[in-house]
Amino acid sequence: MTSLRRWYRLTSKIPGQIYLWLAVLIFGASGAVTRKLTEIGAQHFMDGRNPISLCNVLFVGNLCALMVLVIIYGRQWNKAVLKQISRQNWCILTLVAILSGALAPGLIFQALALSNVNNVILVGRLEPPLTLALSIWLLRERVNLWEIVGAIAAFIGVTLTIFLQTPQATMMNMGGLHLGLGEFLAASGSVAVAVATVISKKHLSVIPLGIYTIFRTALGTMIFFFLALVLYGSDHFMDVFSPFLWQWMLVYGVVIVVLGQSFWLKGLRDSTVSVASLIGSFTPIIGILAAYLILNEAPTLAQYMGGSLIFMGIFLSQLGTWYQIRRRVALDQVNSMQAQQEVETEVGFKGI
């Protein structure tokens, strides 16, 4: 008991920003690690199947995340709190879980199978400007000029990244424009998350953070599982209990999911929205560095051009955030579902 108390006292003295930086390092590397695991699985086929398929990684990773969330937020699931949630809110929460807990992760993981990691990271930056645009249009949110200019720059950067790609076999012809299928799926996943975020802001701001995250993860995992069975057949998850899969999923689940989520949630509890948003904005930079170090995936000319504008947009948006630091939401700790969503739009793909 004494050693546990010492450990608790030691960890409680660590600033929340340290936990956020550790989480962002893990999340930034998640895309490259996911691709690397599937490549390892492709070298060890079992009866013609890849035991470390993207579907298996997503499904098992979500289960690991769910266990972490239950441990951290399980106490919020009590009768007194649940009775205060209306039937309409449960219906809207279900829709949000489908969009951000099942559809978006599935699209992003499929994009990782078809396109290089850098493209998925950069195209995923479509989410923040789209969320901002929808918030202004539907929620009548007031934003400053820096945020608008930053969103426009990021959107142009994503567009350049998509349409300046070298022609590939997986590209689609859309009205004379050649669009990579992987980039299209990554953009679709970002749209799904942006729509879910705006719906949540409008209708679910009163839902406790623990109920929101656990319900979204649990229902999203279930829907993804059954959807994959319908699309790919009953044998799609045959290798989900493979020792070879779990040998590597222990690394992915413990490091990317358990440690990443734990550090992230601990950091959010002890940080303000503005600080968490600033740290989260470094995720794509870390992701591109990880893709180079882990996969030897150097950025292309299109990625350099589009990425430069995207990072300029991130910088300008952060200026807007700091400009509004006197607003209450910027000074509050990240202790609500809406505040966490504001921060997570900066982070993007987190491995699950």
pLDDT of 243 strictly over 60: yes
Give me 291's structure tokens.
Answer: 């893709």
* The model's pTM: 0.84
Question: What is the spatial distance between Cα 34 and Cα 351, in angstroms, rounded to a whole number?
Answer: 8
Q: Which tens digits make up the pLDDT trace of 141-154?
A: 877 788 889 889 99
Give me 187's structure tokens.
Answer: 């953009």
Cβ burial of 56 (10 Å; 0-12, 13-18, 19+) is buried
Q: Provide the pLDDT confidence category of residue 4 given band limits of 50, 70 and 90.
A: very low
Give 110-125 as a 3 state SS string: HHHHHCCHHHHHHHHH
The confidence score (pLDDT) of residue 12 equals 62
Cα Rg of the chain, angstroms? 20
Question: What is the spatial distance between Cα 344 and Cα 336, in angstroms, rounded to a whole number?
Answer: 12
Question: What is the spatial distance between Cα 207 and Cα 185, in angstroms, rounded to a whole number?
Answer: 30
The confidence score (pLDDT) of residue 230 equals 85
Q: Provide the pLDDT confidence category of residue 332 given band limits of 50, 70 and 90.
A: low
Q: Which tens digits make up the pLDDT trace of 211-242?
A: 888 999 999 999 999 988 888 877 778 888 88
Domain locations along the chain = 15-347
Q: Average of pLDDT values for 242-266?
A: 84
The confidence score (pLDDT) of residue 208 equals 85
The confidence score (pLDDT) of residue 288 equals 92
Q: Average of pLDDT values for 40-46?
A: 87
Q: Average of pLDDT values for 257-283?
A: 80
Q: Which tens digits make up the pLDDT trace of 56-79?
A: 888 888 888 888 888 888 898 988
Q: Which tens digits make up the pLDDT trace of 150-190?
A: 889 999 999 888 888 766 655 555 555 556 888 899 999 99
Q: Which tens digits make up the pLDDT trace of 282-294?
A: 889 899 999 999 9
- Alpha carbon 166 to chain centroid distance? 27
Q: Is the dihedral of CA 131, 324, 332, 260 positive or negative?
A: positive
Q: Provide the pLDDT confidence category of residue 55 given band limits of 50, 70 and 90.
A: confident
Question: What is the spatial distance between Cα 88 and Cα 102, in angstroms, rounded to a whole number?
Answer: 20
